Chain A
């Protein structure tokens, strides 16, 4: 049975009522966008198939959702079905000698590292939080602080099975269905559902990393340090004080980390235990960290962040000089998990993250202009994170040989319009420099900008694969309609606003 068009539905050809008890408000992680959807939580792939069928009968579309850690509207599907895949979270196979693991899409990064660490392995690529699912990570093709070395997570996937809306399973690898492999990784879940993912872990010899903090006086200085360090550091990440102006624009602190070589850790059997990786749940042994966001709340304004950032920068400049400390992998990798519920400090309007990826030669210039534009508009980002990247093979990739800057903007009902306008201004600079964007973070992009940075050829190829994998157009998200709705043409069922 083919999917009904809106005209047919309006004409009353399908009068299928969806279960009202499945209605939920589904939110993007940043909390600045949400919509109501019929949420289903399957525990088998047969149930996933039956939701496809339900969608067909009721003339609705289906979106996949993992942990809901995408900042914007990537896992929203207004008034349609959302498949929460977090219950499909079994580890299917694990080879502790070779470091290859096969898992279901709902397995989280946390489940993964806790599973492999005691055997002396670590996921080769992890995001800044351990809560996303592997299905989500693969759909977004996430990267870590080692992107310039290890590439995105897709580079470590050997094969996966993709469940198409018609019920077929497609095995994809570097040799089989290669085109689909390169498009589904980073294809934001719009081609099919990962059911079985195989990826390789990285051998480690200690649960600790050597971490060094380096202060950068300006954006140029930061780029200079990154360029010097990329050859020697396993991980590099820069924090930028986005409120610093004038000659200090782009000042911040860089953290460079290295794995410990075999034998460098006297007690690897201890540090490789899951317990030794846990983040402390109290600050200084007293204050419960679950309360910390409440203390941050009063500082979440331009003045407050300016003061805190200034203190942080100068404290680091004074104290950190060349000092190397040992930190657990968890402490270093999952910085965003350090303060539980920190996003609540942004208030009820939530936040958006604006992240752009700029070729190396333009990066310092573009990011300086972005920071100044945001400051001039009166909306300095409250968090700014700088990373080094490399280009990769994936069709819809955000990877470039260059740098990214991720800017967190607090959203309120009053500034919303202005922030979106600011984002449009920032987009222009990015596009002019040959930069790229990232669907996991995006809330503000426009369709024509996506066409421009990906190139018409890439979008054309992607839409061809979409038609092949999902001819009925069952799979949609708010993000897909917002950015590819015009391209999908008549295949798009719902033409409401995002």
Chain B
């Protein structure tokens, strides 16, 4: 795939969609900083990518998205080591398995931390920079789960809805400066996060999801359903009145 970016940061690049995005970016000739908590897995991915490319095009950066205070420095340092920065992808996400009657605040806070606050901490840095330089692409991975508050996992839905709203605000702030802000809303993707879930339809691989996300980001789409057929579902789901939605088993 032909991609317009030369330097990118991928947060959450040690597995799943983040890893697939990073691999595709590198193979398209982009220098990429791969960021994740699991440094050993990152190192292995980077080593492989660099071996394939024959030069140091992938940089592994160990980082836990809970540690907000190190993010401004890490962000600047990644841009320095890459020699520039054109795009950032925020991919970390947790989907805790919770029982229908479970309300565990610690689990919920952790979900918000990873899915939302980490995104805000990283993408704020990108917004700051891209607003100054009048260029750049910001991609956040939301979810179709963020379109409605479902009974299954209240805080996961909340985190993805909040992320979508945050990204919309960024888009409205930065769009006039020439910055693209893209909300990707995947359906069911075959990753560690969804492993063992039942009732998944239209399941696609992480690599296919990455391909679709990158394509949408290249075009500067505002919201992209991954794959696109979920858009119709999303439209219908959002239009169902609340008194009906309550009675549905979704």
Partners in one complex: yes
B83 near A78 with CB under 8 A, answer yes
Which residue of B is nearest A495, CB measured? Answer: B56
Contact flag A17-B73 (CB < 8 Å), given A23-B133, A497-B6, A497-B31 = yes
Q: Which of A15, A17, A24, A495 contacts B132 (CB 8 A)?
A: A24
Band of interface residues on B: 20 to 34
A329 within 8 A of B: no
B81 contact set on A, CB distance < 8 A: 6, 10, 494, 496
**For A20, what are the chain B residues with a Cβ–Cβ distance below 8 Å?**
128-129, 132
Say whether, besides A9-B77, A17-B76, A25-B133, A496 and B128 are in contact (CB < 8 Å): no
Counting residue pairs across A and B whose Cβ atoms lie within 8 Å, the total is: 55
Is A53 on the interface with B (CB-CB < 8 A)? no
Chain A residues within 8 Å of B84, by CB: 35-36, 78-79, 496
| Cα A79 to Cα B129 with chains together (Å) | 11
CB pair B134 A25 closer than 8 Å: yes
Q: Which of B76, B128, B134 has the most CB of A within 10 A?
A: B76
Cβ-defined partner of A24 (8 Å) among B56, B79, B82, B133: B133
B80 within 8 A of A: yes
**Interface residue B72 (Cβ < 8 Å from any Cβ of A):** yes
* B132→A79 contact, CB < 8 A: no
Q: Which residues of A1-37 have CB atoms within 8 Å of chain B's CB atoms? A: 6, 9-10, 15-18, 20-21, 23-25, 35-36
Of the candidates B76, B79, B135, the one whose C-beta lies within 8 Å of that of A25 is: B135
A36 touches B56 (CB 8 A): no
CA distance A18 to B132 in the complex (A): 14
Q: In the assembled complex, which residues on chain B have CB atoms less than 8 Å from the CB atom of A145?
A: none
Task: List, in ascending order, chain B residues with CB within 8 A of A18's CB.
Answer: 76
Tell me if A218 counts as interface (CB < 8 A to partner B): no
User: In the complex, are the beta carbons of B80 and A36 less than 8 A apart?
Assistant: no
- State how many angstroms separate the Cβ of B140 from the closest Cβ of chain A: 21
With an 8 A cutoff between CB atoms, is A147 at the interface?
no
CA distance A60 to B79 in the complex (A): 12
**Chain B, 103-136, CB within 8 A of any chain A CB:** 128-129, 132-135
Query: Is B70 engaged at the interface, CB distance under 8 Å to the other chain?
Result: yes
B80 touches A494 (CB 8 A): yes
A391 to chain B, nearest CB (A): 37
The chain A residue sitting closest to B78, CB to CB, is: A79
Q: Report Cα–Cα, A20/B132, bound state, in Å.
A: 8
CA distance A80 to B132 in the complex (A): 15
Contact with A along B144-160 (1 / 0, CB 8 A): 00000000000000000
How far does the Cβ of A282 sit from chain B's closest Cβ, in whole Å?
33
**CB <8 Å contact, A36 and B128:** no
A24 to B134, CA, bound (A): 9
A259 to chain B, nearest CB (A): 47
**Contact sample, A vs B, 26 pairs, CB 8 Å cutoff:** A6-B81, A9-B77, A9-B80, A10-B77, A10-B81, A15-B73, A17-B76, A18-B76, A20-B132, A21-B132, A23-B129, A25-B133, A25-B135, A35-B83, A35-B84, A36-B79, A36-B84, A36-B85, A36-B133, A78-B83, A78-B84, A79-B82, A79-B83, A494-B80, A496-B84, A497-B83
Residues of B bordering A, CB below 8 Å: 6-7, 31, 56, 70, 72-73, 76-77, 79-85, 128-129, 132-135
9 closest A-B pairs by CB:
A496-B83, A23-B132, A79-B80, A15-B73, A25-B133, A20-B128, A78-B83, A79-B79, A36-B133
Known: A80-B80, A494-B83. 10 other contacts (CB 8 A): A9-B77, A10-B81, A15-B73, A16-B73, A20-B128, A23-B133, A35-B84, A36-B79, A60-B80, A78-B84
